[in-house]
Amino acid sequence: MSLAVPLSNPDITDLERQAVLEVLSSNRLSIGPHTEAFEAAIAARAGRKHGIAVNSGTSGLHLCVKALGLHEGDEVITTPFSFVATTNCLLFERVTPVFVDIDSASYNMDPAAIEAAITPRTKALLPVEVFGNMEHFDAYERIARKHNLLLLEDCCEALGGVHQGRPAGNFGQCGVFAFYPNKQITTGEGGVVVTDDDGIADMCRSLRNQGRDTSAWLSHAYMGYNYRMSDITAALGEAQATRLDEIVAKRRHVAQMYHDALAGVAEIHCPPMAEPASASWFVYVIRLADKFSRSQRDALMQHLKDAGVGCNPYFVPIHLQPYVMKLLGTHEGQFPITEHLAERTMAIPFFANMTPEQIQRVVATLKEGIGRLSH
């Protein structure tokens, strides 16, 4: 059944449709000119020298972990309040994720908690701009420099955002963007690694293409992967990238409409955003007031779903995912701020082309659902 108001909806126009059709009429469906053009466009947005297109954000993160030389026995400090890919890219290489709690004002890793978690085995920080909020990224970079640590930026949720004059993707040694259909711009599936480091770029280019020697096609220097992006996909991304400013502005406007419509609803906290004027919104995640329980949040989500309004818990903490608990021995109670917030947060419909009527419908359904909770 299709929802009256979906959770997300990509912003695709005739420009994108035309771009894809042109590739289909050419004879270069992979390793073609659009891949390079898309890489250049994304690298430029991040203020970086190199862009390396891959088939998903997760693949990009995995390549960065390899290119940074991280391996078994190394510890990387990361956030439990994210999508599982942030942790999986470490687990793929038997690198130990060390979770630290978040700061309730931004939902990003608490800088003080990072400093407290550093050990002689710590090799890198892996922070995330949660929901597009870039707060603390300057502090993460300072901490990394001070302790001689690498910094890998999981900027999969922040394309187009700017923090203290610097774009998302510009922090640390390298960063990774993702292009699943709920992201700011989409390629269906896809990712791009960005970096200024020639060595990291060369290694990512080789590893995404079966570990090929970049000069000789049938010579394989490393055991690599097929993480390539097709040129069909890249052409879609290239066209989307030309519309990034427009899409980011539309999403900012939708966030503002939500803020205004929810301002008088005492039971709901609007999502935090450090620099609203230069923010790039990924999702719109509301939080129920502290007096509500997880089961009340779940009842509210059911009310929305019954009314045809998309919603999802965002995020279920990574350290409480069954396979992570089994693998790392993590458990409830370890990260109280993350757990407290995660029990009360939920993503509501959010996309560039949302209409004021759709916003009103979501907000009215939310108010109605909250009214039922207190009775």
Residues in touch with ligand PLP (CB under 6 A): 56-58, 82-83, 85-86, 128, 154, 156-157, 178, 180, 191
If the CB atoms of residues 209 and 233 are measured against ligand PLP, the closer one turns out to be: 233
Residue with tokens 């690694």: 193
Question: Strands of 150-154's sheet, edge to edge?
Answer: 50-54, 191-195, 174-178, 150-154, 122-126, 75-78, 96-99
CB of 127 to ligand PLP, least distance (A): 10
CB of 88 to ligand PLP, least distance (A): 9
Residues 191, 54 contacting (CB under 8 angstroms): yes
294-to-24, 97, 135, 256, 315 alpha-carbon distances in Å? 48, 27, 27, 27, 13
Residue 141 Cβ vs ligand PLP, minimum distance, rounded to whole Å: 18
Min dist CB 200 to ligand PLP, Å, is 18
String of DSSP letters for 111-172: HHHHHHH--TTEEEEE-B-GGG--TTHHHHHHHHHHTT-EEEEE-TT-TT-EETTEETT-SS
Nearer to ligand PLP, 149 or 158 (CB): 158
Q: Which is nearer to ligand PLP, 284 or 292 (CB)?
A: 284
Q: Which is nearer to ligand PLP, 155 or 200 (CB)?
A: 155
**Minimal distance, residue 58 CB to ligand PLP, in Å:** 3
CB 147 to ligand PLP: min, Å? 24
What is the C-alpha separation between 348 and 362, in angstroms, rounded? 8
Comparison of 157 and 231: residue with beta carbon closer to ligand PLP: 157
> By beta-carbon distance, which residue lies closest to ligand PLP?
57
Helix 231-242 and helix 14-24, axial crossing angle in degrees, nearest 10: 150
Between CA 112 and CA 101 the distance in angstroms is 10
Residue 121: how many CB atoms within 10 A of its CB? 11
- What number of residues does the chain have? 375
Our CB check for ligand PLP shows the closer of 58 and 365 to be 58
76 vs 85, beta carbon nearer ligand PLP: 85
Q: How far is the CB of 34 from ligand PLP (least distance, A)?
A: 19
- Residue 184 has φ and ψ, to the nearest 5°, of -55, -50
